[in-house]
Structure 1
Amino acid sequence: MQDVLVPTAVTPAHTTRRQRIAAGVRDSFSAGLGIFPLGIALGLLVLQAGLPGWLAPALSLAAFAGSLELLLVGMMATVTPLAAVALTVLVVNFRHVFYAFSFPLHLVKNRWAKAYAVYAMIDEAYAVNASLPESERSAARLLAMQISCQTYWVGGGLVGVAIGAALPAPIKGLEFALCALFTVLTLDAFRSRREIPSVLLAAASVTAALIVTPGVAMFTALLLFVALLLARHALTARRPVREADDA
């Protein structure tokens, strides 16, 4: 009787470094569909605000954060005081503190690579990584995905500057591109995870923040959402213990 070979599942331990890098680049495609056009919007906004074109790639390298860069363009155009800029940066990017709790930085061993992983921990990279099974994550795949995302962003900004220089009139509504991208990422994460309780907690947090502190709604919503998630985790952790005691 002839032996039958059963194919085994491919895991990061059985893949080459080149395969993991290729997988990371493929992971970035879905986010890149939103990042690249948003980068174009940034380049266009820079020129429409009367700022030099080199500012688009400079911002994309110095402060790799899409929502913050779009805000900084308007602040720089209106010469906003430095204290207001610093407070805005803190409020807008404070959510990245919570990303670090579940972002797999432990996979990256090289200190320079880990520093880049922290620097490039943007919303899109977090959302894409969160949709991957734990067994398929690796440092090479993570870094390849992050580098690809930044390439889309910088490249989009350069294209936007080129387009803006050729257009005779400004384009309205470009600022909505960021909101549209976050909406798509949220829907994609929900489709892959089916975390209905988390979605409901997030909606409740945003609603409460808009009512109580509309001026700093994002900051309040993040803190409230984290508090609700911790409370939910505590409740779900106690439930198995109680069920074991009852049995």
Structure 2
Amino acid sequence: MRQVLALSAPIGLAFIPLGMALGFVVVHAGLDWWWAPTFAAVIYAGSLEFLMVGLAAAAAPVATVALTTFVVNARHVFYALSFPLQRVRGLGGKLYSTYTLSDEAYAVGVSPEARHWGSRQILFMQVCFQLLWVTGATLGGLVGEALPIERLKGLDFALTALFIVLAIDAYRQRPDPLTALSAAGCAVLAWVLVPGQLLVCAFAAFTVVLLLRKWRDA
């Protein structure tokens, strides 16, 4: 298990500050602190949890919640194609491994260092990730509850900042100006035309653009 901890720790420890940011955002949205660990444990999808805070606070329709969940988490379908789920033993283990398949768990699970891991190592890695995420969210909720609410302004930008950094890093590794401009254009267009449904419409428009590009290049 030492190898699992050594490989997972650099990524897993980042769950603490990001989970705390989720807890702060939950409290800032007017929800009770215990919603933070509830979201973290039940939903367990970082980007969706930040979005779900706003949807829950606004009492969004079930259809909007379902569509947003599908759009944000659709990538996990493709993760399952190469994640070593076949090494996980037992129905319960497979169900838990599928449920806790996150971006970070996928990155570690398919790495060369983990190619010889068995069921225990894979599940241990995923349990550690989930515990760290729930711990961070709980701490953030409790600290946010104790602090004056006016000190928590701007924390809802935490997830946006995270994705900006990830987008910049992805662009540096694989520069693609047309894709970047298409994504920005779809976001601006959705913001102008349907600001109340910006995320869903921007994702849908960008997906159509990518499919058209794929069809044109075929």
User: Structures share a fold, TM > 0.5?
Assistant: yes
Query: Distance between the aligned counterparts of 1:91 and 1:217, measured in 2?
Result: 11
Give 1:39's aligned amino acid.
Answer: G
1:220 Cα deviation (Å)? Answer: 6.4
Q: Does 1:122 align with 2:102?
A: yes
In the alignment, which residue of structure 1 is the partner of 2:67? 87
Q: Does 1:62 align with 2:42?
A: yes
The change in CA–CA distance for 1:219 and 1:81 in structure 2 (over 3 A counts) is same
1:140 Cα deviation (Å)? Answer: 2.1
1:179 Cα deviation (Å)? Answer: 5.0
Write the mapping of 1:45-60 to structure 2, written as runs, cut at 5 A: 45-60=25-40
Q: Does 1:26 align with 2:6?
A: yes
**Percent identity (aligned):** 41
After superposition, the C-alpha distances for 1:146-200 in whole angstroms (9 at most, x for unaligned) are: 111111111011111111122112323334443555677789999xxxxx6xx34
The change in CA–CA distance for 1:179 and 1:50 in structure 2 (over 3 A counts) is closer
Does the 8 Å contact 1:94/1:219 carry over to 2?
Answer: no
Query: Distance between the aligned counterparts of 1:45 and 1:71, measured in 2?
Result: 10
Instruction: Give the number of aligned pairs.
Output: 204
Q: Residue 208 of structure 1 is aligned with which of 165, 170, 182?
A: 182
Query: Distance between the aligned counterparts of 1:115 and 1:66, measured in 2?
Result: 19
Give 1:37's aligned amino acid.
Answer: P
Query: Distance between the aligned counterparts of 1:108 and 1:138, measured in 2?
Result: 7
The change in CA–CA distance for 1:66 and 1:147 in structure 2 (over 3 A counts) is same
Does the 8 Å contact 1:208/1:221 carry over to 2?
Answer: yes
Runs of at least 5 residues in structure 1 that lack an aligned partner in the other structure: 1-20, 191-195, 230-247
Larger radius of gyration: 1
Does the 8 Å contact 1:24/1:140 carry over to 2?
Answer: no
Query: Distance between the aligned counterparts of 2:10 and 2:168, measured in 1?
Result: 12
1:85 Cα deviation (Å)? Answer: 1.0
Q: Does 1:35 align with 2:30?
A: no
**Regions of 4+ moved over 6 Å:** 183-190, 222-229
Q: Does 1:174 align with 2:149?
A: no
The change in CA–CA distance for 1:94 and 1:204 in structure 2 (over 3 A counts) is farther
1:84 Cα deviation (Å)? Answer: 0.9
The change in CA–CA distance for 1:139 and 1:97 in structure 2 (over 3 A counts) is same
The change in CA–CA distance for 1:67 and 1:80 in structure 2 (over 3 A counts) is same
Query: Distance between the aligned counterparts of 1:227 and 1:108, measured in 2?
Result: 38
1:108 Cα deviation (Å)? Answer: 0.7
Q: Aligned to 1:170, what secondary structure does the other structure show?
A: helix
Q: What TM-score do you get using the length of structure 2 for normalisation?
A: 0.76
Q: Aligned to 1:80, what secondary structure does the other structure show?
A: coil
Q: Aligned to 1:101, what secondary structure does the other structure show?
A: helix
Query: Distance between the aligned counterparts of 2:110 and 2:213, measured in 1?
Result: 19
Q: What TM-score do you get using the length of structure 1 for normalisation?
A: 0.68
Give 2:152's aligned amino acid.
Answer: I
Aligned-pair RMSD on alpha carbons?
3.3
Does the 8 Å contact 2:28/2:153 carry over to 1?
Answer: no
Greater displacement, 48-57 / 174-183: 174-183
In the alignment, which residue of structure 2 is the partner of 1:156? 136
1:27 Cα deviation (Å)? Answer: 2.3
Q: Aligned to 2:36, what secondary structure does the other structure show?
A: helix
Query: Distance between the aligned counterparts of 2:211 and 2:132, measured in 1?
Result: 31
